[in-house]
Amino acid sequence: MTVAVFTFVLLLGNALKDILVLLVNHQATLGMVAEAFGLLIPWVLAFALPMGMLTAALLVFGRFSADQELTAVRSSGVSLVALVSPILLLSLLLCGVCAYVNMEVAPRCRVAYIGLRYEMGARLLSAGLPEGRFVKDFPGYIFYVERNDSGNLREVWIYELDATGKVKATTYAPRGSLMTTNQQTWLHLEGGVRSLYRDGESWKQMFSETVDTDPLDFKTGGKWDQKPGLSDMTFEQLQAQLKELDGMFSGASPTDADPEELRHQLLELQQRQRDMTMPVLVQMHRQVAFSFACFGFTLVGIPLGIRAHRRETNVGFFMALLLVLIYYSFMILGQSLETRPELAPHLIMWLPNFIFQAVGAVMLWRANRGLRG
């Protein structure tokens, strides 16, 4: 139940940010929204499973302790370790599920979700540009059309952006139409086209009766085929990326005859290699380390729930969120230091697992002794 609650909350948070906005703007159909939700579920499930196990352990054992159920178990001769063993085995099983989700399913679904968002945006141009609204859904451009009469555009403005997001050219045309062929889309402008573009530090103006824009940087019927970022790669893709980066340096060797200069070049070469490969290593270790979160959360949640002696659900949720915040702070710290290979950020990813499991094991041992006493 707790897993379902966290999945719903995380899913709704992502949907409100991306998908529902497209639905309101008529850029997506209900079918595409349902598909987007389905693709998001594995991605949020990787976070919801550990959080759900932690919350469930806190709530269940907090209630057991408050209702004196553990005292009754002790009286029947069952130790706490024997009682929680099936739960710990379940958490280990879920670690395997999380590993498969984190390393394979979630990255692929995330890439497919980004591609679906791209297609949703492309449908906007396939149907025609909307009236009276700035369209910012496509990289490098902002469009504005005063009127759109069945594809016949009036008062068309096009703002072309540079890599920093600043306007580098503006184009105005009294009339225009959207042209699509051979998987390419462009605008045909006419009626006296006025363009203003940046040339160094100055701006220049150009006039023309008709203008066909360059093919725009999106597709209207094809699939999104961008290479995924490191955070959206599967474990196998990350391994291939790491192998490729290592191969870039395998055949490179300085040829300077001076021993001191040679040593300096070698050290510099090794440093460049570490700088390039460390972000990949951080992502690989993050996927594997995060897969063990279920076990660490369960191990610390059981004795903490016993010590809390609480029946209230809101207290359990608050404690769970606090522990999740502590856990993820290490993950965020490791990723923020991925450009500092000398600090071994890939190993920081494992610290919360070691801390939670060590603290949980000690607390469980003490709770078991307390019940025996």
For residue range 182-196, list pLDDT tens digits in order.
Answer: 556 678 899 888 888
Q: Which of 126, 116, 138, 129 is nearest to 31 (CA)?
A: 116
Q: Do 275 and 204 belong to one domain?
A: no
Q: Do 269 and 350 belong to one domain?
A: yes
Query: What residues contact 323, with CB distance under 8 A and at least 6 apart?
Result: 54, 297, 300, 301, 304, 356
pLDDT computed for residue 26 by the predictor = 58
Range of 162's domain? 139-212
Q: Do 120 and 143 belong to one domain?
A: no
Q: Do 78 and 170 belong to one domain?
A: no
Query: The pTM is what?
Result: 0.64
CA 40 and chain centroid, separation: 10
Q: Is residue 57 in a domain?
A: yes
Q: Is residue 236 in a domain?
A: no
pLDDT computed for residue 263 by the predictor = 60
pLDDT computed for residue 123 by the predictor = 55
**Cα(344)–Cα(106) distance, rounded to whole angstroms?**
26
- Tally of domains within the chain: 2
Domain end position, chosen among 158, 179, 212: 212
pLDDT computed for residue 220 by the predictor = 40
pLDDT computed for residue 285 by the predictor = 92
Q: Is residue 302 in a domain?
A: yes
Q: Do 148 and 107 belong to one domain?
A: no
Q: Is residue 281 in a domain?
A: yes
Q: Do 200 and 311 belong to one domain?
A: no
Q: Is residue 230 in a domain?
A: no
In this structure, what DSSP letter does residue 28 have?
A: S
pLDDT computed for residue 223 by the predictor = 44
Q: Do 101 and 163 belong to one domain?
A: no
Q: Is residue 101 a contact partner of residue 108, using CB atoms and an 8 Å limit?
A: no
For residue range 274-330, list pLDDT tens digits in order.
Answer: 777 888 899 999 999 999 999 999 999 888 888 766 555 566 667 778 888 899 899
- The helix or strand, by DSSP H or E, that contains position 285, with its residue range, turns out to be helix 259-290
Q: Which two tokens stand for residue 53?
A: 């196990």
Q: Is residue 228 in a domain?
A: no
Q: Do 114 and 151 belong to one domain?
A: no
Domain end position, chosen among 155, 185, 212: 212
Provide the 10 A C-beta neighbour count for residue 220.
Answer: 18
Q: Is residue 174 in a domain?
A: yes
Q: Do 304 and 261 belong to one domain?
A: yes
Residue 118: what residue type?
Y
Query: What residues contact 67, with CB distance under 8 A and at least 6 apart?
Result: 311
Q: Do 305 and 163 belong to one domain?
A: no
N residues, the chain: 373
pLDDT computed for residue 370 by the predictor = 65
Q: Do 19 and 99 belong to one domain?
A: yes
Q: Do 119 and 24 belong to one domain?
A: yes
Q: Which two tokens stand for residue 124?
A: 């906007």
Q: Is residue 132 in a domain?
A: no
Q: Which of 51, 50, 17, 49 is nearest to 36 (CA)?
A: 17
One digit per residue, the tens of pLDDT, for the chain of length 373 reads 666 776 767 766 666 666 666 666 555 667 777 777 788 888 888 888 888 888 888 888 888 877 777 777 777 777 788 888 899 999 999 999 999 999 999 888 888 887 777 666 555 554 556 777 777 766 778 888 888 776 678 888 888 888 887 888 888 999 988 776 655 667 889 988 888 877 777 778 888 888 887 766 544 434 444 567 788 888 988 888 888 777 765 554 544 445 666 566 556 666 666 777 888 899 999 999 999 999 999 999 888 888 766 555 566 667 778 888 899 899 899 888 888 888 889 899 999 999 999 998 998 888 877 655 5
